[in-house]
A and B are shown apart, each in its own frame.
Chain A
């Protein structure tokens, strides 16, 4: 077999060819190359609306790819070192959910770190699988969840030998990686599959100074968020599978929930982004790494801020660290991360990725330039000068061990009642409570509500974190299971 030609972009090329054919559209979409919606055409531009077309013979069909989409998937698989790659148009959420739905069904167990993305919990509600949580180590000084310790994973596997899969964040939102090759080995030895949520790790595939990618580590499936560090359009993503996974089965699972009108804007953006990464990814990410290193040095020179990085690496709960995640602890400046996040936006017109209680995260990518880095660093220096306080009075976030009373699916569909939040201690929650950002569950359906959890919710709310999930948007009430304690 000849080596796939990464300079090709089959979907993009087919669209270009199709455009030149000047085919008369008597199919959907009804805007017909934008003519039916001139305001939209003006906003998005002629090129964009004329590329918004439907699946058809020359452009293939995402539900059952046989020509250009299939070629694009083969090129993506080659670029990422996977046995198969699926182009996804429902966000990395759909990639993560398809991954979970492919490996567990009702009543089966899946081992997860607590700091999984909410999309995983959604998949569990859909399929009825049972979550088994591994306590991620916590860094008390920084107040962030770390990776899973290998011994913890091993203990959990031994305690639940019937589990079907282990899911790993590679990396976490903060850039922290668990020992993925070690976990893969443990899982495989126990006859389990290993899945990786690589929503924040697409770039790992393209530079050797970055942590090991899931496919290179031997994981069976990975959800890689191309639209985050990969440069494709928002909502486009990749699901990668290793040699031990039956691609036809995964395709069937994907088709359960995926649209039958996949957007060619998203598909072509995946195609072009993959080509760019395959051809220029290494030099581009080398530049991003250099910028991140420079920004860390400059931020740490301001004083107070701790732009942490690879010094956290301890061979276990922080097996590796993604330097491109510019995560900065703000507690010694006397400000909560969320306060710095707000100040940067309101006072300095700088939008960063998130702020939690003790940290902020600035997302660096192939689109960044040194001049914007200078602005961020200078603004942080000004935030400290103008708003810095002494450290006292800041609570740090802590890991609260979840008590899974019933499965997420059972709880989600159970008869429930709404109670004032302060009366819910001891009850079983039927909703999600997320502290967003960073989007780590505080409560998920089926978990027992405890006093430390209620204290945490009250505090995070007071600090300005956006708490989402419950039916009551102000979170003054929570839905709990009726008659179950």
Chain B
């Protein structure tokens, strides 16, 4: 028997993973949720048929969305995480003892429930006492807090479907307001490669640039995401991701990572020429 999960990475490109069996399938108020088990990538989570994470390569994404801002900001106490119901971001964050409180805002309770049951590898630290989970729309949650967080991590799905509101100017503006004066926002920034993704990437960058005084983009290689080349956004009110990187301090923590190093941190901000151009085009637009 041949059983394959396939996802269209572009209208003309398909990515497939051989599946041993489907562990879960359900429909929440917001989306369809599936968990599969595969020989190559272990278990993986898909939402509305889009690959969200696999056990094999999720470390890349989660390490890169958490450690770069943590190696720059000198004193992160309060963190807001939008999305991230799988728990991967939380698993990375709770390694930092100075973090006092984390608000996790996930729109879909079923994602958390399913991940707790089938993906303990990422959901393992969702019971940390410093964590509060709020089940609501991230755009709504971030409307009220002012000057309340040192770090906001936007671990959104794609800019269509339930995650659409997390790629809007009003969302980034609200994040700016919710951050303290030296706060940092890091976001999942889509891929620059296929044309449709590149447009989403440009739009997100344009809106962040319009909202934050410092806005840089860094990259990672994630095998199961479209094109494998993925970007993250680093936006901040004060700190520069390279000039304010404190390598010694971070390395003294002795955290064990499989992807992130402070050397990689520096390299990740050196992006290909075509991506630089893509981003510059929208920076210059205003």
Residues of A within 8 A of B (CB): 298, 302, 347-349, 370-371, 374-375, 377-379, 381-382, 385-386
Contacts and interface: CB of A to CB of B under 8 A. Distances in A.
B164 A378 contact: no
Nearest to A383: B170
Given A347-B169, A348-B169, A348-B170, A378 B177 contact: no
A378 B171 contact: yes
Given A377-B143, A378-B143, A385-B177, A371 B165 contact: yes
Nearest to B172: A382
A297 to B, nearest CB: 12
Contacts of A348: 168-170
A483 B169 CA distance: 57
A347 B137 CA distance: 21
A381 B164 contact: no
B174 interface: yes
B140 interface: yes
Contacts of B177: 385
Nearest to B29: A370
A381 B170 contact: yes
Contacts of B164: 371
B162 interface: yes
Interface string B167-190: 011110110010000000000000
Contacts of A370: 137
Pairs of residues from A and B, 8 with the lowest C-beta to C-beta distance, nearest first? A378-B170, A382-B173, A379-B170, A374-B139, A382-B170, A374-B140, A374-B137, A378-B139
Contacts of B139: 371, 374-375, 378
A372 to B, nearest CB: 8
Contacts of B137: 370-371, 374
Given A374-B137, A374-B139, A377-B143, A382 B169 contact: yes
Contacts of A374: 137, 139-140, 165
B174 A382 contact: yes
A370 B29 CA distance: 12
B161 to A, nearest CB: 9
Contacts of B170: 348, 375, 378-379, 381-382
B143 A381 contact: yes
Nearest to A375: B165
A347 B139 CA distance: 17
Contacts of A386: 173
Nearest to A372: B165
Nearest to B171: A378
A379 B140 CA distance: 11
B171 A371 contact: no
A360 to B, nearest CB: 15
A294 B165 CA distance: 17
Select the residue from A298, A302, A370, A374 with max chain B CB neighbours within 10 A: A374
30 contacts: A298-B140, A298-B143, A347-B169, A348-B169, A349-B169, A370-B137, A371-B137, A371-B162, A371-B165, A374-B165, A375-B139, A375-B165, A377-B140, A377-B143, A378-B140, A378-B142, A378-B143, A378-B165, A378-B168, A378-B173, A379-B168, A379-B169, A379-B170, A381-B143, A381-B174, A382-B169, A382-B173, A385-B173, A385-B177, A386-B173
A42 B142 CA distance: 42
A347 B211 CA distance: 11
A390 B139 CA distance: 27
Interface in B21-56: none
Nearest to A376: B170
Contacts of A377: 140, 143
Contacts of A347: 169
Given A370-B137, A382-B173, A385-B173, A375 B162 contact: no
A375 B173 contact: no
Contacts of A349: 168-169
A386 B177 CA distance: 10
Nearest to B163: A371
A114 to B, nearest CB: 37
A382 B143 CA distance: 9
Given A348-B168, A375-B165, A385-B177, 18 more contacts: A347-B169, A349-B169, A371-B137, A371-B162, A375-B139, A375-B170, A377-B143, A378-B143, A378-B168, A378-B170, A378-B174, A379-B169, A379-B170, A381-B143, A381-B174, A382-B169, A382-B174, A386-B173
Of B137, B142, B164, B173, chain A has the most CB atoms within 10 Å of the CB of B173
A298 B143 CA distance: 10
A347 B170 CA distance: 9
